[in-house]
Amino acid sequence: MRIGFVSTRFHGTDGVSLEAAKWAHVLEHHLNHKCFWFGGKLDTPSDTSYLCPEAFFEFPGIAAIQKALFESDGLRPQALSDEVEVFSSYLTAELRHFIARYELDILLPQNVLAIPMHVPLGLAVTNLAEEGVPVLAHHHDFSWERSRFEHGCAGDYLQRAFPPALSKKFLHVVINSRAGKDLLERRGVPSSVIPNVFDFENPPADPDAYGDDFRTQLGISPDEVIVLQPTRVVPRKGIEYAIELCHRLQERLGRKVCLVVSHNSGDEGFEYHEGLIQIATQLAVRVLWIGDRVREGRGNNTKGEKCYSLWDVYPHADLVTYPSLYEGFGNALLETFYFSKPVVVNRYSVYVEDIEPHGFKVVTMNGCVNDQIVHEAAGLIEDKDKAARWGKHNYGICEQHYSYRSLRQGLEGLVENLNGS
């Protein structure tokens, strides 16, 4: 089968891009399909890619439309509806060119029909689905899971396309059981649950010399504790809890603790980032915002500074923080388990329902940093043998439940079903 991935972007280290790459790897290398890429920002192979700048959610015209749709309640102005229609029609035509150029059998939209970051693109994919183009829709998070989409004048668009209630030649995949229940209740359509995965059948290679200078490059002293927050800087990541934990660990350990935040801010504005800087200043916690030094591949940034992959950063972490308020699943949590690192996890709902029952050994919090959490986290930093035992235990669980093998089994049946529908 020739399968066309569709998203606003397949670029960088955001969760959707990373998970799409895993799906493509399994589809191509384990199931012998061929994958192609459509998006507004791409770092995928040029010979299998179709770049459409208007598909990016930060494209100027699209950004203005999104702002108008979700910041203004009441009746939608006709001029705004006309703008949405113009972009939707254009993107529908571009997707037709994409299908024709690569002779595609299936479209595989990645979150395009779930969270309305780009309403015209979601409408465009829905147009093609309604015409009979086979679609395997991978939903990472829905509009009803984000408060910023509760208001506005886009209700009819959300009802039609986010996601569409289609069944003929259309299959839905969600990443957690709660999302599947919500989708059935809200849209009346069934779905398959395929959680995020990682290549646990192949453990990470031993670090090479490239990352040896990470501390010196970033100005982290040898005696400083490194706490890694491997996420984007957006409010739902709960980074304020990581800062508070680092503050209290400094008091508990009697050592400097440096919080390293691996990704950039900006996807949801900069107000949250600015607030975190204030909190860190008040609590005397050193935070390194290294999004401009972490890339998907090694090299140098535009300033000529040495850049690292996230895989270069994980080995240096003494502890990982994952204090998210909400996650569709938890890609960075699986990465932490892959590198067998001790982790502090806020018990967000998907973790409680789908992940925790497997019996992982982690430090858990329930929306606040208390003395017990600080004690347990400090113990894992000081007792490397215990941290290693916990890491080995967690890796074994993931190998059973969150490996490429389980993804392969899920995708094989779905593609066969869609091909035969």
pLDDT, tens digit (0-9, with 9 covering 90-100), for 169-182: 999 999 999 999 99
pLDDT of residue 217: 95
Confidence band, pLDDT 50/70/90 cuts, at residue 15: confident
* Mean predicted confidence (pLDDT) in 132-153: 92
Helix residue ranges, H only, 286-353: 310-313, 331-338, 349-350
CATH topology of domain 209-400: Rossmann fold (3.40.50)
Amino acid at 177: S
Q: Which segment of 277-281, 327-331, 340-344, 371-375 scores lowest on mean pLDDT?
A: 327-331
Alpha carbons 325 and 303: distance in angstroms, whole number: 34
* Mean predicted confidence (pLDDT) in 259-274: 86
Decide if pLDDT at 269 tops 80.
no
Q: What is the dihedral of CA 406, 408, 410, 414, to 10 degrees?
A: 180
* 334 compared with 331, residue with greater pLDDT: 334
* Mean predicted confidence (pLDDT) in 29-58: 97
pLDDT of residue 129: 97
* 270 compared with 94, residue with greater pLDDT: 94
Q: Which two tokens stand for residue 7?
A: 């998203």
* 329 compared with 369, residue with greater pLDDT: 369
pLDDT of residue 4: 98
Confidence band, pLDDT 50/70/90 cuts, at residue 393: very high
Amino acid at 340: S
b (16+ CB within 10 A) / e for 317-337: bbbbbbbbebbbbbbbbbbbb
Neighbours of 88 (CB within 10 A): 21
Assess whether the region 2-197+404-420 and the region 209-400 belong to the same CATH fold: yes
Reference 402, options 337, 351, 319; nearest CA is 337
Contact at 8 Å (CB) between 51 and 117? no
Reference 1, options 407, 417, 405; nearest CA is 417
**Helices (runs of H) and strands (runs of E) counted in the chain:** 15, 15
Reference 253, options 313, 320, 337, 318; nearest CA is 318
Neighbours of 158 (CB within 10 A): 18
Q: Which two tokens stand for residue 150?
A: 């509760």
* Mean predicted confidence (pLDDT) in 345-363: 96
pLDDT of residue 328: 82
* Mean predicted confidence (pLDDT) in 251-255: 95
pLDDT of residue 14: 79
Which helix H or strand E contains 259, and what residues bound it?
Answer: strand 257-261
Alpha carbons 18 and 196: distance in angstroms, whole number: 10
* 419 compared with 58, residue with greater pLDDT: 58
Q: Which two tokens stand for residue 55?
A: 């598909």
Please state which CATH class domain 2-197+404-420 belongs to: alpha beta
Q: Which segment of 90-99, 265-274, 351-360 scores lowest on mean pLDDT?
A: 265-274
Eight-class DSSP state of 47: G
Domains of the chain, by residue range, sit at 2-197+404-420, 209-400
Average pLDDT over all residues of the chain: 94
Distance of CA 99 to the CA centre of its chain: 26
* Mean predicted confidence (pLDDT) in 219-241: 95
* Mean predicted confidence (pLDDT) in 117-141: 97
* Mean predicted confidence (pLDDT) in 334-362: 97
Contact at 8 Å (CB) between 258 and 284? no
Question: Tokens 């009819």 — which residue?
Answer: 156
Decide if pLDDT at 384 tops 80.
yes
Non-local CB neighbours of 256 within 8 Å, separated by 6+ positions = 221, 223, 224, 225, 250, 286
Decide if pLDDT at 72 tops 90.
no
pLDDT of residue 211: 94
Q: Which residues is 258 bridged to in the sheet?
A: 226, 286
Verdict on whether the full-model pTM lies above 0.85: no
Neighbours of 405 (CB within 10 A): 17
Helix residue ranges, H only, 188-308: 214-218, 239-253, 271-282
Contact at 8 Å (CB) between 135 and 120? no
Alpha carbons 245 and 229: distance in angstroms, whole number: 12
Helix (H, G, I), strand (E, B) or coil at 192: strand
Question: Tokens 């497997």 — which residue?
Answer: 358
Eight-class DSSP state of 233: B
pLDDT of residue 421: 59
Alpha carbons 330 and 105: distance in angstroms, whole number: 30
* Mean predicted confidence (pLDDT) in 189-206: 93
Cis? peptide before 235, omega within 30° of 0: no
pLDDT of residue 417: 87
Q: Which residues is 51 bridged to in the sheet?
A: 39
Confidence band, pLDDT 50/70/90 cuts, at residue 267: low
Helix residue ranges, H only, 254-348: 271-282, 310-313, 331-338
